[in-house]
Amino acid sequence: MADNSNIRIIISGGGTGGHIFPAVSIANAIRELRPNAEILFIGAEGRMEMQRVPQAGYEIKGLPIRGFYRPLWKPQNIGVALDYLRSKRMAKQILREFRPQVAVGVGGYASSAALGAANALGIPTLIQEQNSYAGLANKQLADKAAKICVAYEGMERFFPKEKLMLTGNPVRQSLLDSPVTREEALKSFGLSPDKKTVLLVGGSLGARTINESVLNHLQEIAASDLQFIWQTGKYYHEEILNQLKQMGQPSRLFVCDFIADMAAAYRAADLVVSRAGASSISEFCLIGKPVILVPSPNVAEDHQTKNALALANRDAALYVKDSEAREKLIPLAMQTVADDARLCSLSENVLKMALPDSARIIAEEVLKLAKAQ
């Protein structure tokens, strides 16, 4: 492919880390292949991409777009609809000024307006669908998309088969490149290299169900010979610290609101307990980490449950319903982490589902579309 210093690409989406990490990974891969490419992000005002994208070194424009309230007949949705129309007009203006050859959508509110505007202006679009169950916005945008990159087989249920490309989800490169050893990782958490370790994460904001599961089984945790790294999430952290003061904190329970170095946390863990977001699942597949998935029930179209079952049905992860987690999760984690054969089997099976080099493969498709213009 001949070099083209005048390549301009829009990348849109966000709302959660699960959308932002892949978007930034794709941008980084494009930059590696074409250092002179101009990349502009479009996000939603007030959402985390407005901070995370500039931190990664890219410019971002914000739209006043937000999600609809449920049920749809709520009167607040009149304002949401007006904001959507305004966002689409703003997106068209951004695209006219920036003149991209391609627009990439990774999901999230802003992606819908930006790719809708790109379609209206005749700019080729590429969709990256992270979940095993396609989101509403991506399904609506699919007919006009030039290429649809997916992470799971069987996505022709939702999208035109001839546009599909099985690429996997881009993940944070730092997780794969980290030189830290298990011993060093455990030491950074003040834990012993001689004991089995369970990592509990509920996303950057936390997961109430996972947190309550831990609090309900503090006595068993204290009596065990196991270690736990517990990311409570910023939203719940202060409340949990107060509860631990009253109830007593087990000595081998490391508690924090947010883990900045997830590579070290994964390296330290023999078993992970996590929500079933698409990006997290892709990370577990690539690093071969045994995991118990507790899908969040508070996501559109229950796609986390479908993500979890895609692994559980291949014996590549264990699955606990959110409604049953408070009772079953910690006992299952303690039983599983003590079973070396089970851990080994889960690790082998989850590695088989890995799709490496996703960001580079998607970046190459983006550049092919740009070159075709």
Percent of all residues in the chain with a pLDDT value above 90, rounded to a whole number: 76
Strands 271-274 vs 197-201: parallel, antiparallel or unpaired: parallel
Distance between CA 196 and CA 164 in Å, rounded? Answer: 41
More confident residue, 206 or 122: 122
User: Which of the given ranges, 241-245, 258-262, 302-306, has the highest pLDDT on average?
Assistant: 241-245
pLDDT at 96: 98
Average pLDDT over residues 55-62: 96
The C-alpha angle with vertex 193 and arms to 191 and 196, in degrees rounded to 5, equals 85
- Counting beta carbons within 10 angstroms of the beta carbon of residue 139, is it exposed (0 to 12), middle (13 to 18) or buried (19 or more)? middle
pLDDT at 206: 60
pLDDT at 1: 37
pLDDT at 62: 96
pLDDT tier for residue 69 given thresholds of 50, 70 and 90: confident
Strands 164-166 vs 271-274: parallel, antiparallel or unpaired: unpaired
Give yes or no for residue 16 having a pLDDT over 80. Answer: no
Average pLDDT over residues 347-367: 95
Helices (H), the chain: 17-33, 49-55, 77-98, 109-120, 136-141, 173-177, 182-188, 208-216, 218-223, 237-247, 262-268, 278-287, 303-312, 322-337, 340-351, 358-371
Average pLDDT over residues 146-152: 95
pLDDT tier for residue 3 given thresholds of 50, 70 and 90: very low
241-258 tens-digit pLDDT: 999 999 989 999 999 998
Nearest partner of 43 among 13, 74, 67, judged by Cα: 13
More confident residue, 299 or 228: 228
Give yes or no for residue 358 having a pLDDT over 50. Answer: yes
pLDDT tier for residue 4 given thresholds of 50, 70 and 90: very low
Nearest partner of 361 among 118, 43, 149, judged by Cα: 149
* Strands, sheet with 125-129, edge to edge from the N-terminal-most edge strand: 59-63, 38-44, 8-12, 102-105, 125-129, 147-150, 164-166
pLDDT tier for residue 286 given thresholds of 50, 70 and 90: very high
Least trusted range by pLDDT, from 13-27, 32-46, 308-322, 354-368: 13-27
208 phi/psi in degrees, rounded to 5? -55, -40
Rounded to 10 degrees, the C-alpha dihedral 21/24/26/27 comes to: 180
Helices 77-98 & 109-120 angle (0-180, nearest 10):
50
For the entire predicted model, the pTM comes to 0.83
DSSP reduced 3-state for 43: strand
Average pLDDT over residues 311-315: 96
Nearest partner of 254 among 308, 350, 187, judged by Cα: 187
pLDDT tier for residue 10 given thresholds of 50, 70 and 90: very high
pLDDT at 21: 86
**Which token pair is 341?**
């054969």
Distance between CA 108 and CA 50 in Å, rounded? Answer: 13
pLDDT tier for residue 68 given thresholds of 50, 70 and 90: confident
**Number of neighbours of residue 3 by Cβ within 10 angstroms:** 9
Distance between CA 341 and CA 290 in Å, rounded? Answer: 11
